[in-house]
Amino acid sequence: MRQYLDLMQDIIDNGVDKGDRTGTGTRSVFGRQLRFDLQQGFPLLTTKKVHLKSIIYELLWFLSGSTDNTWLQDRGVSIWNEWALENGDLGPVYGKQWRSWACPDGSTVDQMAQLVEMIRTKPDSRRLIVSGWNPADLPDESLSPQENVRRGKAALPPCHTLFQFYVAEGRLSCQLYQRSADYFLGVPFNIASYSLLTLMLAQQCDLQPGEFVHTFGDVHLYSNHLNDPAIVAEQLSRTPGALPQMKLLRRPASLFEYQYEDFELVGYEPQPAIRAPIAV
Ligand SMILES: Nc1nc(=O)c2c([nH]1)NC[C@@H]1CN(c3ccc(C(=O)N[C@@H](CCC(=O)O)C(=O)O)cc3)CN21
Ligand SMILES: O=c1ccn([C@H]2C[C@H](O)[C@@H](COP(=O)(O)O)O2)c(=O)[nH]1
C-alpha cells in the first residue's frame, strides 16, 4: 500500500488549501488514480489498523438495498450516525440507487442484479456500469443532511459515484470514480469495500479477481488531520507491511445472500489505529 502513502504526500506537496461544505478546510488535488492488483493480496491498509467489520457491514447494507442507519447500528456500526435522522433514515442513498433506482413510470431498476446478469452473459460489454448519481435525489448543499432527508432527498450525494467492471482473460476488474474523497478516513474504507465487492462478484460470476482501479475527483486531506502531527505525519512515518488475504468461506446462491461470517481475513498485522475526527 505504498501507493496510498505516495498520494498522501502528493496532496501535501501539490495540493491547494480550500474551504469546504463542512467548514473544516481541506488541502486537495484534482484527478488522481490508484491501482491494486487483487491477486497480490487484499488492499487493507497496514500502516494503521482499519476497522474491517464496519466496511463489511456497510457493503452488505448497500447490497441489501437498505437506507436505514438502524440496520448498521444494530450490528454495532456507527459510521453513518452523524448524517441520519433519529429514526435512522438517510434518504435515497446508495442502497436505494443500487437496488431500486426510481423510473419516471413508477417502476424501479435493480442495477446490481442487472450487473451480475450482464457480467455472466455479456462479459465483453462496455456497459457494465452502476451509477449512484441520481440528480432527482441530490440534496441541497445549503441545508443540513437531516433537513434534506426530511425533504425526501439524500443525506449526502454519493461520494463513490459510478463504477464499471471489465472482464479479460478470466479476470474481473473494477474501476470506481470517486468525486470527493476524505483521504485519511474515507479512502481506506472505500478501497477495501470496492475490492471486497469485486471479490464477491468474481466468485458469483466464476471469474478470478483482476484489478481495482480507484479514480479520484477532489481528493483531500482535512486540515484538522493534516495539521495534527499524531494523524497525517504519523501515518506517513510508518512503513507498509505485507498485505493480508481475504477468503470467501462460502459461495452464497446470489450476490445478495452474503453474511458477515462468510469473510475471513488472514495475515492482517497492522500498526496501531490512528484516531481522527470526522468532518460532518
Ligand atoms: N467527512 C466524511 N468522510 C467520510 O469518509 C464519510 C463522510 N464524511 N460521510 C459519509 C461516510 C461515512 N464514512 C465514514 C465515517 C466514519 C469513519 C470513521 O470514523 N472511521 C474510523 C473508525 C470508525 C469505526 O469503524 O467505527 C477510522 O479510524 O477509520 C469512516 C468512514 C465515509 N463517509
Ligand atoms: O464513502 C465516502 C463517503 C464520503 N466521503 C467523504 C468525502 C467528503 O470529505 C465528504 C462528503 O462531503 P461532500 O461535500 O458531499 O463532498 O465525505 C468519502 O471519502 N468516502
pLDDT in tens, the chain (280 residues): 999 999 999 999 999 999 999 999 999 999 999 999 999 999 999 999 999 999 999 999 999 999 999 999 999 999 999 999 999 999 999 999 999 999 999 999 999 999 999 999 999 999 999 999 999 999 999 999 999 999 999 999 999 999 999 999 999 999 999 999 999 999 999 999 999 999 999 999 999 999 999 999 999 999 999 999 999 999 999 999 999 999 999 999 999 999 999 999 999 999 999 999 999 9
Interatomic CA distance for residues 104 and 120, integer angstroms: 28
Pocket around ligand 2: residues whose beta carbon is below 6 Å from it? 21, 156-157, 159-160, 180-182, 186-187, 190
How far is 158 from 173, CA to CA, in rounded Å? 21
Q: Which residue has the cell 505504498?
A: 2
Of residues 219, 247, 196, 178, the one with CA closest to residue 43: 196
In testing the pocket of ligand 1, which one of 49, 80, 149, 185 has its CB within 8 Å of the most ligand atoms?
Answer: 185
- pLDDT at residue 182, rounded to an integer: 98
Residue with cell 431500486: 100
Q: Which atom of ligand 2 is nearest to the CA of 141?
A: 14
* CATH level 3 topology of 2-48+110-266: Thymidylate Synthase; Chain A (3.30.572)
Query: What's residue 280's pLDDT?
Result: 93
Q: What is the ipTM of this complex?
A: 0.98
User: What is the C-alpha separation between 94 and 68, in angstroms, rounded?
Assistant: 11
Which residue owns the Cα nearest ligand 1 atom 17?
79
Tell me which DSSP letter residue 249 carries. -
- For ligand 1, residues with CB inside 6 Å are 50-51, 54, 78-80, 83, 156, 182, 185-186, 189, 273, 278-279
Which residues carry out catalysis? 159
pLDDT at 183: 98
Question: What is the Å distance from ligand 2's center to 252 Cα?
Answer: 31
3 state DSSP class of 154: coil
**Ligand found nearest the CA of 220:** 2
The pLDDT value recorded for residue 33 is: 98
Spacing, Cα 95 to ligand 1 middle (Å): 17
Tell me if 226 is assigned to a ligand binding site.
no
Atom of ligand 2 nearest to the CA of 21: 14
Q: What is the pLDDT of residue 178?
A: 98
SS3 172: strand
pLDDT at residue 62 in the model:
98
21 is in an annotated binding site: yes
Give dist(CA 279, CA 57) in Å, integer. Answer: 22
Q: Which atom of ligand 2 is nearest to the CA of 179?
A: 16
Residues paired with 165 in a beta bridge: 174
As given in the structure block, the three cell numbers for residue 177 are 470514480
Q: Closest ligand 2 atom, CA of 185?
A: 19
Residues 6+ apart with CB under 8 A from 226: 12, 27, 232
Q: Which residue's alpha carbon is nearest to atom 16 within ligand 2?
A: 180
Establish whether 127 is an annotated binding residue.
Answer: yes
* 15 and 232 Cβ atoms separated by less than 8 Å: no
Which residue minimizes the CA distance to atom 9 of ligand 2?
Answer: 182
Q: Give the closest ligand to the alpha carbon of residue 179.
A: 2
**CB neighbourhood size of 75 (10 A):** 15
Would you state the pLDDT for residue 129? 98
CA dihedral (213, 219, 224, 225) in degrees, to 10, reads 20
pLDDT of 135: 96
Residue nearest to atom 4 of ligand 1 (CA): 186
Contacts with 267 (C-beta within 8 Å, 6 or more apart), sequence order:
242, 244, 245
Distances, alpha carbon 159 to alpha carbons 38, 154, 217, 237, in Å: 22, 12, 10, 28
Asked whether residue 221 is marked as a ligand-binding residue, the answer is yes
- Domain range list for the chain: 2-48+110-266
What is the rounded distance in angstroms from the CA atom of residue 33 to the CA atom of residue 19? 23
Ligand approaching nearest to the C-alpha of 219 = 2
Residue 15: per-residue pLDDT: 98
The residue behind cell 501507493 is: 3
